[in-house]
Amino acid sequence: MAAERSLEAHIQGLPAEQAGLLRFFRALRKKPLGMGGAAVVLIIFLVGLTAPLIAPYDPTAVVMGDRLQGPSLSHPIGTDQIGRDILTRLMYGARVSLTISLSAVGVGATIGALLGMLSGYFRGRFDFILQRVMDMMQAFPLLIMALTIVALLGASTRNVIIAIAIVLVPSYNRLVRGSTLATVNYPYIEAARSVGATHVRILARHILPNITAPLIVLMTASFGGAILVETSLTFLGLGASPTEPTWGGMLSVEGRSFWEQAPWMAIAPGVAISLTVLGYNLLGDALRDIWDPALRGR
């Protein structure tokens, strides 16, 4: 207890940004599942980022003499039907999945948050029409809507990002609109209006900081869902190019066709997808517990 009081006293003497960051890490340290999820996410991110440096082989190199080899010292997770190293393809597949999920969530969160702030701040007819559009979008299952968009636009990595971003917009719009409605009538908002602050200044300086925490929590949870949608679309042949190493592609053609001869071809990407999604979900749950006042004492 004395050490905790001493640390808290030290934190109080730091600038506000540093103090807030230290308090956050102290709270996260008390969430072992959240720490485990953060560790998994960090490892996957580093593997994807450094894949060209640490991967033992070329992900597209065809070596027919090594086809369908089981796990060994030279190929720790085995090889596929044309002799490509599965571990190498998993590493490069992480790059694709992380790129798509980060891009899609970033675009979807930005558009959804902007629309939600404007809707909750100005309200009126704009708010009514926009929310009815969001209702119609949320009436469709996420994967079905993404599948429809990609089918209309064509199969490519760019179109997968666009599709996932679009289907994520309603969730962020709802969250940010609710937070904005709860904030817009606070006395300091009225005070800002009374001194002549513009709408842009009020939104940027007074409302945006209040919605940042729930927005980050939802973004963290959305990464796992985005990876699942991306792998599902790739599994159906509507994702990245078949020659590009992706987790969904490894499950689709290679994993299904050679399941009985080489089960490791499907198990490896399946485990990678499951661990990544689990890591994001555990981290998102921990962040929610830390930043939600109703759950902070649990």
Give the residue-averaged pLDDT of 252-256.
65
Q: Greatest CA span in the chain, whole angstroms?
A: 77
- Report d(CA 148, CA 273) in Å as an integer: 23
Sign of CA dihedral 90, 93, 94, 97: negative
Q: Which residue has the higher pLDDT, 264 or 2?
A: 264
113 within a domain of the structure (yes/no):
yes
Our CA dihedral for 140, 143, 146, 147, rounded to 10 degrees, sits at -110
Residue 30 has pLDDT above 80, yes or no: no
Number of compact structural domains in the chain: 1
Q: What is the pLDDT of residue 107?
A: 93
pLDDT tens for 58-114 read 888 777 777 888 788 888 888 888 888 888 888 988 888 888 888 999 999 999 999
- Enumerate long-range contacts of 58-65, CB under 8 Å, 24 or more apart: 58/88, 59/84, 59/85, 59/88, 59/89, 59/91, 59/92, 59/245, 60/84, 60/243, 60/245, 61/85
What 3-state DSSP class applies to 200? Answer: helix
- Scored b (16 or more CB within 10 A) or e, 61-93 reads eeeeebeebeeeeebebbbbbebbbbbbbbbbb
Six token digits for residue 206: 């007074």
Q: In percent, how much of the chain has pLDDT > 90?
A: 9
Q: What is the CATH number of the domain that holds 150?
A: 1.10.3720.10
User: Is-contact 287 220, C-beta < 8 A?
Assistant: yes
pLDDT tens for 226-238 read 888 888 888 777 7
165 within a domain of the structure (yes/no):
yes
211 within a domain of the structure (yes/no):
yes
Residue 290 has pLDDT above 60, yes or no: yes
- Report d(CA 153, CA 97) in Å as an integer: 20
Give the residue-averaged pLDDT of 47-58.
86
- Report d(CA 71, CA 262) in Å as an integer: 10
Q: What is the pLDDT of residue 26?
A: 65
190 within a domain of the structure (yes/no):
yes
173 within a domain of the structure (yes/no):
yes
167 within a domain of the structure (yes/no):
yes
Give the residue-averaged pLDDT of 207-214.
81
Residue in this structure with the two tokens 């997770």, named with its chain if needed:
77
Q: What is the pLDDT of residue 110?
A: 92
- Report d(CA 177, CA 158) in Å as an integer: 28
- What residue numbers bound the domain in which 209 lies? 94-243+272-291
List, in sequence order, every beta strand (DSSP E) within the chain. Answer: none
Lowest mean pLDDT among 6-20, 183-197, 200-214, 243-257: 6-20
19 within a domain of the structure (yes/no):
no
- Report d(CA 38, CA 280) in Å as an integer: 7
21 within a domain of the structure (yes/no):
no
